[in-house]
Amino acid sequence: MSAILDFLYPRNCLGCGAPAPTTFRHICWDCWSDTLKVEPPFCRICGDPVAGAVSHDFVCFSCADSPPAFDLARSVVRYDGVVGEALKRLKYHRALWLAPDLAELMHGCLKAEYGELEFDWVVPVPLYHVRRRERGFNQSTLLAHALARQISCKSTDRFIKRIRPTATQTHLTAPQRLSNVHDAFESKREKQLAGQRVLLVDDVMTTGATVNACAKALKKGGAASVHVLTVARG
């Protein structure tokens, strides 16, 4: 079936247009190689990259000053290049066929950064129900479900709910982002969530305000741990 679909709908690299990329279905090796990866040195807790040489176990000022609710957060790449374009196409242009490639990138990061850690659930950052209805899908849910299939883990979007609308975080300052998502999420199904190890998935992490608010809700609901994984770091 895959060969028939490739014949009827020839695949090209999203970045350079090269035909039939083999590294990923829609990203060729050259474009992937040129993508800026999130690599050490970065904050041990939130994974935010730091410039320069750091030889010690580094914790950024933000995490030291106000420890986040999540245990750790990691991202695959910076929000740029061919992966940044793939995320924009997925989110704003309904390019749903890109989700498996992005989930494959997350799978590689998961193995590299979280090693032998085991998770009971993969949980996406939820959308407010009005925005979910308008968009027709939640990109984080697509990524979470695709990743869960790859690691043979359960996935659900029913553990946390966004209980009020929030403005887009794109043009907000860090303090505004915190205020924007304050008490915007609540935990659900606490009996199922109690004692569970959660991998929280989103497309992009910038200041971490959204994933931190979700982690607070999950832990309030009884989650034993919450680790964050995103495709990109803004």
Q: How far apart are CA 102 and CA 90, in angstroms?
A: 10
What is the mean pLDDT of the segment spanning 182-206?
Answer: 92
C-alpha 155: how far from chain center: 14
Residue 73 CB neighbour total at 10 angstroms: 27
Q: Residue 12 is encoded by which pair of tokens?
A: 């090209």
Do 190 and 208 lie in a common domain?
yes
Q: How far apart are CA 174 and CA 39, in angstroms?
A: 23
CATH of the domain at 213: 3.40.50.2020
3 state DSSP class of 121: strand
| DSSP 8-state class, residue 13 | -
Q: How far apart are CA 52 and CA 25, in angstroms?
A: 35
Do 61 and 4 lie in a common domain?
no
What is the mean pLDDT of the segment spanning 3-11?
Answer: 53
Q: How many domains does the chain have?
A: 2
Gap between the terminal Cα atoms of the chain: 37
Would you say residue 173 has pLDDT above 70?
Answer: yes
Q: Which of 43-52, 67-76, 141-150, 219-228 has the least mean pLDDT?
A: 43-52
Would you say residue 38 has pLDDT above 90?
Answer: yes
How sure is the predictor about 8, in pLDDT bands with cuts at 50, 70 and 90?
A: very low
pLDDT at residue 7 in the model: 43
| Strands laid side by side in the 154-155 sheet | 72-78, 225-233, 197-205, 121-124, 154-155
How sure is the predictor about 10, in pLDDT bands with cuts at 50, 70 and 90?
A: low
pLDDT at residue 41 in the model: 92
Q: What is the mean pLDDT of the chain?
A: 90
pLDDT at residue 171 in the model: 64
Q: How far apart are CA 171 and CA 184, in angstroms?
A: 18
- What is the reported pTM? 0.91
User: What does the DSSP assignment read for 168-197?
Assistant: -STT--HHHHHHHHTT-EEE--HHHHTT-E
Do 83 and 27 lie in a common domain?
no
Do 85 and 182 lie in a common domain?
yes
Domain that holds residue 58: 37-233
Do 185 and 224 lie in a common domain?
yes
Nearest Cα residue to 212 out of 190, 180, 188, 189:
180
Do 67 and 11 lie in a common domain?
no
> What are 130-164's pLDDT values in tens digits?
988 999 999 999 999 999 999 999 999 999 999 98
Do 201 and 90 lie in a common domain?
yes
Do 134 and 56 lie in a common domain?
yes
Q: 106 to each of 31, 62, 131, 134, 172, how far by Cα in Å?
A: 17, 25, 25, 27, 26
How sure is the predictor about 189, in pLDDT bands with cuts at 50, 70 and 90?
A: confident
C-alpha 209: how far from chain center: 13
Q: How far apart are CA 91 and CA 214, in angstroms?
A: 20
> What are 205-215's pLDDT values in tens digits?
999 999 999 99
pLDDT at residue 5 in the model: 43
Pair 162, 224: CB distance under 8 Å: no
Do 1 and 72 lie in a common domain?
no
Beta bridge partners of 67: none
What is the mean pLDDT of the segment spanning 41-61?
Answer: 88
Do 120 and 211 lie in a common domain?
yes
